[in-house]
């Protein structure tokens, strides 16, 4: 076939295709016209009997006017219908409004009241597109069944009726065709309802623009999420704490200044008492979700918050610099030393007969193991709540068996820590006032070399350590306890006073309200939270470095688990103590057999396991602080 013939054939094919498309369009138009004519004809036939104005005048101009009567009504027998023996069948509204019908199948009105479309969309034959404010129209539709006094007049919808479109109407909280169904009284349903409606509250009150326009309290959502109630909700357990409607009411939510509001000062005791049964009325002074950034709230909370932030900053700045300088100097020294081994000292004749000396008693070792277990448990169960917005918090709580189980573990570990602390206080008392000596010589024991109390030598050791950091002198000659170990010890006393007392207040807030004002619960919450962060990071970073991760001891210093270390290690790390032992002739009494294989195995497994858990928790905490 020639090229000219091919082109001619293609033109003819295109022309035939165009003709077919045009013919199809004419046929479709004809069919639509016929159908419309049938519908209009049917409508004209209907109004021959249904001649009231709603059908003749209002229906043609309604939103369904172009559909005709037969689009919604089906008549099986016109004669029986005309005689009044048979009513027309209604076609399901979902045939046109498909998605709305699917949503409505899950609606509380459909499930529990068997509502149909016409129960809300009344006077359907005269229904027109609403020129009224949609929020107002929704409210007027709802009060056809629901009491205006109970649900509309005083709540969020009242400002809507006055023209404030920022305020919420019924559908903003409950939806239109998808009002959720909650069976009140069932725990799972209570949990879903509380989470759902609290989330709806956050939608509006979390908008900075809306809050500013209406002069509402800023950062209210953030401050709620930082409260105990908000944190437990965020990690997925809303049934166990109060949500927004529990305190502020579900409908007719009024400003705090209104005497009818549940959060009015005169009503707070009753509102809080719904959950905190048996609390003293002064418990109502508790600030449920304070904003620590505006400094316009309770002055005690603001001062406490600033003090705790300052304490964290000062401790971490000093010991952070101290740790970095120590690491640099120790690492540099290890590199300079290389593979050279230090010659064995021959300061003591026959020292090979005493290769190890006792550093910790069996009591000390057991106490330290219990301390590690309780401390790690407290951090694992407390930090997910402090950083409830972190992606790992919810997963960790699930791993622990839920927030309630985690709470039981947290309080059990706290009780163990309290017991250890009180026993340590008793041991400290016995050290200062040994049996048979009374108060005689207690000052010397307090500031002596075996005491964990600070003395003037510690100040000299700090200065000497910083000189060593900068290559300006040797490592100080430490005695039995170094200044950082004394700091660790005294941090326990401060920490147990701060964390322990505040923890008891939070554990028994209702009972505490009988001996203190409610606002101190908020102070306790701040102290407990921030001091716990300080303790966790200090132990997992500074303490781990000082005792385990520093070059020369890495990855683990086992003597807290084995109870003893070599004489060579004693001479190297604590020369002042070594010289004192030799001068006092106490070496023989401090002899210690080399720990057995099972002790070494326990030290390695438990010690390294604890280190790993602590460092993993440190990673999660820092992740939450800087990346969440």
pLDDT of residue 78: 83
Domains and CATH numbers, the chain: 38-109 (no CATH), 110-174 (no CATH), 187-296 (no CATH), 300-336+351-626 (1.20.950.20)
**How far apart, in whole angstroms, are the C-alpha atoms of residue 412 and residue 417?**
9
Q: Pick the residue with more confidence: 134 or 610?
A: 610
pLDDT of residue 38: 44
Structure tokens at 516: 């203190």
**How far apart, in whole angstroms, are the C-alpha atoms of residue 431 and residue 433?**
6
pLDDT of residue 131: 64
What is the DSSP secondary-structure string of 268-302?
A: HHHHHHTTSTT--GGGGGS-SS--TTT--S-HHHH
What are the pLDDT digits (tens) for 531-572? 999 999 999 999 999 999 998 888 999 999 999 988 999 999
Question: Are 390 and 397 spatial neighbours (Cβ–Cβ below 8 Å)?
Answer: no
What is the DSSP secondary-structure string of 140-185?
A: HHHTTTS-HHHHTSSSTHHHHHTT-TTS--HHHHH-SS------TT
**How far apart, in whole angstroms, are the C-alpha atoms of residue 229 and residue 517?**
20
Residue whose entry in the numeric block shows the structure tokens 């050279």: 340
Q: What percentage of the chain reaches a pLDDT higher than 70?
A: 88
Q: What percentage of the chain reaches a pLDDT higher than 90?
A: 52
pLDDT band at 153 (very low <50, low <70, confident <90, very high): confident
pLDDT of residue 482: 96
pLDDT of residue 21: 57
Nearest CA to 300 among 86, 521, 489? 521
Average pLDDT over the chain reads 86
Which of 214-218, 326-330, 609-613 has the largest mean confidence? 609-613
CA 595, 599, 600, 605: dihedral to nearest 10 degrees? -170
Adjacent-strand bridge partners of 385 = none
Q: Pick the residue with more confidence: 54 or 310?
A: 310
**How far apart, in whole angstroms, are the C-alpha atoms of residue 486 and residue 453?**
7
Nearest CA to 545 among 534, 532, 554? 554
Adjacent-strand bridge partners of 357 = 565, 591
Q: Pick the residue with more confidence: 144 or 272?
A: 272
Residue whose entry in the numeric block shows the structure tokens 């209104």: 258
**How far apart, in whole angstroms, are the C-alpha atoms of residue 562 and residue 592?**
10
3-state SS assignment for residue 601:
helix
Nearest CA to 487 among 542, 551, 431? 542
Please state the rounded mean pLDDT for residues 67-92: 83
Please state the rounded mean pLDDT for residues 349-355: 48
Question: Are 345 and 570 spatial neighbours (Cβ–Cβ below 8 Å)?
Answer: no
| 89 phi, psi to nearest 5 deg | -85, 140
Q: Pick the residue with more confidence: 467 or 332?
A: 467
Please state the rounded mean pLDDT for residues 293-303: 74
pLDDT band at 294 (very low <50, low <70, confident <90, very high): low
Please count the helices (runs of H) and the strands (runs of E) in the chain: 31, 4
Nearest CA to 160 among 135, 180, 183? 135
- What lies within 8 Å, CB to CB, of 512 at 6+ separation is 504, 505, 520, 521
**How far apart, in whole angstroms, are the C-alpha atoms of residue 417 and residue 496?**
9
Q: Pick the residue with more confidence: 415 or 188?
A: 415
- What is the model's pTM? 0.82
Q: Pick the residue with more confidence: 58 or 38?
A: 58
Quote the distance between the C-alpha of residue 502 and its chain's center: 20
What are the pLDDT digits (tens) for 123-133? 888 888 776 78
What are the pLDDT digits (tens) for 458-471? 999 999 999 999 99
Q: Residue 481, class by beta-carbon neighbours within 10 Å (0-12 exposed, 13-18 middle, 19+ buried)? A: buried
């Amino acid at each position: 076939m020639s090229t000219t013939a091919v082109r001619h054939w293609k033109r003819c094919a295109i022309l035939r295709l165009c003709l077919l498309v045009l013919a199809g369009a004419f046929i479709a138009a004809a069919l639509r016209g016929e159908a419309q004519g049938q519908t209009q004809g049917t409508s004209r036939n209907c109004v021959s009997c249904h001649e009231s104005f709603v059908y003749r005048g209002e229906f043609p101009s309604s939103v369904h006017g172009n559909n005709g009567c037969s689009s919604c009504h089906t008549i099986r027998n016109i004669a029986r219908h005309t005689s009044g023996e048979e009513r027309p069948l209604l076609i399901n509204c979902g045939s046109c409004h498909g998605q709305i019908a699917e949503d409505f199948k899950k609606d509380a009105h459909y499930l529990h009241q068997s509502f149909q479309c016409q129960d809300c969309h009344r006077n359907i034959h005269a229904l027109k597109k609403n020129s009224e404010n949609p929020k107002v129209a929704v409210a007027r539709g709802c009060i056809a069944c629901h009491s205006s006094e109970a649900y509309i007049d005083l709540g969020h919808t009242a400002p809507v009726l006055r023209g404030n479109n920022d305020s919420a109407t019924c559908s903003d909280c409950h939806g239109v065709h998808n009002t959720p169904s909650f069976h009140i009284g069932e725990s799972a349903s209570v949990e879903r309802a509380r989470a759902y409606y609290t989330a709806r509250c956050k939608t509006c009150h979390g908008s900075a623009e809306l809050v500013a326009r209406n002069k509402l309290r800023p950062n209210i959502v953030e401050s709620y999420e930082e409260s105990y109630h908000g944190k437990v909700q965020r990690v997925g357990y809303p049934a166990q704490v109060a949500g927004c409607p529990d305190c502020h009411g579900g409908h007719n939510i009024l400003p705090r200044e209104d005497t009818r509001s549940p959060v009015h000062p005169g009503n707070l005791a009753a509102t809080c008492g719904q959950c905190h049964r048996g609390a003293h009325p002064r418990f109502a002074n508790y600030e449920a979700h304070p904003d620590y950034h505006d400094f316009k709230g309770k002055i005690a909370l603001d001062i406490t918050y600033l003090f705790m932030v300052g304490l964290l900053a000062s401790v971490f700045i000093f010991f952070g610099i101290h740790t970095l300088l120590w690491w640099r100097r120790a690492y540099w020294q290890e590199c300079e030393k290389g593979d050279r081994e230090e010659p064995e000292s021959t300061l003591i004749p026959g020292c090979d007969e005493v290769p190890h000396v006792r550093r910790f008693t069996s009591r000390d070792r057991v106490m330290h193991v219990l301390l590690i277990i309780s401390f790690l448990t407290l951090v694992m169960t407390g930090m997910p709540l402090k950083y409830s917005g972190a992606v790992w918090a919810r997963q960790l709580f699930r791993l622990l068996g839920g927030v309630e189980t985690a709470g039981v573990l947290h309080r059990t570990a706290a009780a163990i820590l309290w017991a250890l602390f009180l026993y340590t206080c008793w041991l400290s008392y016995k050290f200062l006032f040994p049996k048979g000596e009374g108060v005689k010589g207690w000052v010397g024991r307090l500031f002596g070399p075996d005491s964990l109390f600070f003395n003037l030598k510690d100040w000299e050791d700090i200065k000497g350590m910083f000189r060593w950091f900068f290559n300006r002198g040797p490592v100080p000659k430490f005695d039995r306890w170094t200044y950082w170990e004394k700091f660790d010890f005294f941090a326990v006393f401060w920490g147990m006073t701060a964390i322990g007392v505040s923890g008891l207040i939070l554990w028994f807030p209702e009972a505490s309200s009988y001996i203190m004002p409610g606002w101190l619960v908020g102070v306790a919450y701040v102290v407990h939270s921030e001091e716990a962060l300080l303790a966790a990071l200090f132990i997992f970073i500074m303490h781990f470095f000082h005792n385990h991760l520093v070059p020369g001891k890495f990855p683990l210093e086992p003597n807290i688990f084995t109870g003893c270390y070599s004489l060579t290690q004693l001479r190297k790390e604590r020369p002042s103590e070594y010289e004192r032992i030799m001068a006092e002739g106490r070496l023989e009494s401090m002899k210690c057999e080399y720990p057995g294989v099972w002790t070494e195995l326990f030290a390695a497994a438990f010690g390294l396991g604890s280190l790993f858990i602590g460092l993993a928790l440190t990673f999660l905490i820092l992740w939450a602080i800087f990346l969440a």
